[in-house]
Amino acid sequence: MLIVVAIAVAPARAGNWPTPAAGESTSGNPEVIFTFDDGPNPRTTGKVLDLLAAHHIQAVFFMLGEHFTGEDPSRERALMKRLIGDGHVVANHSVTHAQLCAGTPEATAWQIDRARTILEREAGMPVPWFRTPYGAWCPRMVRLLDERRIQHFYWDIDPQEWRTNNAKKTQWLVSWGLKRLKGRAVVLMHDIKWATVFALPKILEWLDAENVRRAAAGEPTIRVVSGAEYAVELLGTDRVAAARELADAAVSGLAAALASTLP
């Protein structure tokens, strides 16, 4: 069977995004960050949020701006509000999921900037992280993101459930990758896919059981790193504290942490 899980352990070659996608493990032990692309979808995203809440996991959601530009995006807005309230991070995945290394530089810039405008308006907080559709890399993308001081957020474990639509295979591939993990990995899934909805509870149940087993055996457990924790790690606690003092009281501490990633 073709294994499509990629566990990065060293910087990537020139011509791709650096890996490990979120840097090295700060503890030296296995760590995982869960991320979800392409939402929100009123049919499936809420179910993903339910599952994450049940396991006390906070993730990063890379959203498409187009979901908030329809005739009535009220359900998408409700999901955004709940997602932020649950402590998840909103991130940018472009407006329409276009291949950003294939069009004109102007079109690529529009996809980045327009989606950021939409998502920051809807989230009420800065959205400084970006993930290119299809993971596309090209010098143009690097330049445009650097000019905007936007951090690209790649991945290390990709079960490609968007392609297979197979929950059982998705569960096995993610669990297989996590079981062999030595440092930190970013897991990529899609909250718009039913394969994710059906595989995620099995993955999280496996993770809980695996950590119980490891703790009993005196082995390092797999720590789940939230988006907010990763933001603090990148920024340092002093900058986060300063940003929190300036944050609107109605906005969570998570928003304050992410606020200081902006210029």
List the catalytic residues: 37, 190
Query: Residues 207, 177, 166, 134: is their CA dihedral positive or negative?
Result: positive
| DSSP string computed for the chain | ---------SPPPTTS--SSTT-S-SSSS-EEEEEEES---TTTHHHHHHHHHHTT---EEEE-GGGGSSS-THHHHHHHHHHHHTT-EEEE--SS---TTTS-HHHHHHHHHHHHHHHHHHHTS---EE--GGG---HHHHHHHHHHT-EE---SB---HHHH--HHHHHHHHHHHHHT--SEEEEEEETT-HHHHHHHHHHHHHHHHHHHHHHHHTPPP-EEPPHHHHHHHHH-HHHHHHHHHHS-TTS-HHHHHHHTT--
**Residues 6 or more apart in contact with residue 146 via CB below 8 angstroms:** none
